[in-house]
Amino acid sequence: MSPPPRGKHVGTIRRLRRQLESRLPSGTAAYEVTSVGMPDDPDDYATPDLVLLPDEWDEGDAWLADPADAVLAGEAISQSEKARDIGQKDGWYAVAGVAALLVIDPRHGTWAPYARPESGSYQERSGGKFGEDVPLPEPPALVVATDSFPRYGTGAVG
């Protein structure tokens, strides 16, 4: 079992969530520690750091959210992440059909939104550095400021 994220990892997600929650369309809410199931495989799922779902999600009894309901999954890469590059985080979400993914990498101070999943991969991708705004795809078609996102320091584990 992996240790839970902490410090700058969760701080990044907290900052993202605060920005999104104040501007989400009615009927959409941000959830942490919520798993999203893989269609056609009840044993396969992912638990993004943050996921935008219809707000009635918190009224149900299911433990897996339907990926078709996920407007956006947000992932902050941990300091100990084995993936060398930010682009290695998108595969599962695209195959599952999650509408959009935002990957934030505090190791390098970069971000990348992905959109339009088709045939197991996202058809749209952009990227930038902390300090530049992230334009999220529609929905929710919001802009996220990254100037307050922390970067990992040497020796930090997030």
Q: Please provide the DSSP assignment of 24-75 as one string.
A: PPTTEEEESS-EEEETTEEEEEE--SEEEEEGGGGG---SEE-GGG-SEEEE
What pLDDT, on the 0 to 100 scale, is given for residue 108? 93
Classify the C-alpha dihedral 53-138-38-51 as positive or negative: negative
pTM: 0.90
Model pLDDT for residues 19-61, shown as the tens digit of each residue: 999 999 999 999 998 999 998 888 899 999 999 999 999 999 9
Which fold is adopted by the domain 7-144?
A: tt1808, chain A (3.90.1570)
Q: Please provide the DSSP assignment of 83-111 as one string.
A: -SSGGGGSHHHHHHT-SEEEEEETTTTEE
Contact in structure between 69 and 55 (CB atoms under 8 Å): no
Provide the residue ranges of all domains of the chain, joining segments of one domain with +. Answer: 7-144
